[in-house]
Amino acid sequence: MTTPLLSVRGLSIGTDAGVELVRDLDLEVGPGEVVGIVGESGSGKTMTALSLLGLLPSGVAVTGGEASLDGVRFLDGPRMLRRPNASMIFQNPTAALNPTARIGAQIDRLLRFLDRSAGRGSDRRARRSRAVELLRSVGISNPENVLGRFPHQLSGGMNQRVMIAMAISLRPSLLIADEPTTGLDVTVQAQILQLIRTTVAEHGIGVLFVSHDMGVIAQMCQRVAVMLHGDLREFAGVDDVFHRPRDPYTRELLAAAGDVRPAEGVTDGARAR
């Protein structure tokens, strides 16, 4: 096994009141690999995702463990050592965008921030054409129109495309996707999943994909971590998890989801396209 892109060791997350939300979690994502975290509400999967970018809500903190990206440690217990080169897309994309700013202004804010962080000059018209390009790259056919809209004037699927465009513009080596298609129409959901697949394949980005939906996980991931009440119950390849589940809870999840198993033996590469 080559060195993993993301490596999480012994991650524990708890509230200020002392409630443990995640216990001693080990996880890894290989370069360009899509790894799923699946579990019911309250299993700690979203908290795990948020903790990697230092986005835990107030009153919740990492209590132990460490994480590294590209071999560089960025999380050491409660301390964020550096910003990992990762970006995130969220559940409910419409709420994830500022309601009082136009899409164009929000992308422009990000591009200007990126230019300034990189110490290079920034020109408004150049940023505008980059924004148009970005939106095109996520399959938005009328980017000029979308740039002038507010999030509430766009569909959830369109806003998620915008979020993906913004997340990709950071040129991350890891994308964290927290239930990115929950709440979207089934057809839109399929389009967004397809977009995520092609985008990360194109840029060679690794993905940590959080979902409660076994069907989505089966479509998207090469490896799956099954979580329950803050514990990691099973971490294995999709074929193993779906066809030879070792943990009784995984079996329950599968039974509840109906037949969502991917055809056994289909290679990961074929599914990732």
Q: CB-wise, 43 or 87, nearer to other proteins?
A: 87
Shortest Cβ 120–other proteins spacing (Å): 16
For residue 220, report the phi and psi dihedrals to the nearest 5 degrees.
Answer: -95, -35
Q: CB-wise, 101 or 201, nearer to other proteins?
A: 101
Shortest Cβ 50–other proteins spacing (Å): 8
Shortest Cβ 4–other proteins spacing (Å): 22
Q: CB-wise, 21 or 226, nearer to other proteins?
A: 21
Shortest Cβ 63–other proteins spacing (Å): 20
Amino acid (1-letter code) at residue 71:
G
Q: CB-wise, 53 or 257, nearer to other proteins?
A: 53
Site residues for other proteins per CB under 8 A: 53-55, 57-58, 83, 87-88, 90, 92, 95-102, 109-110, 113, 117, 150, 152, 163, 166, 170
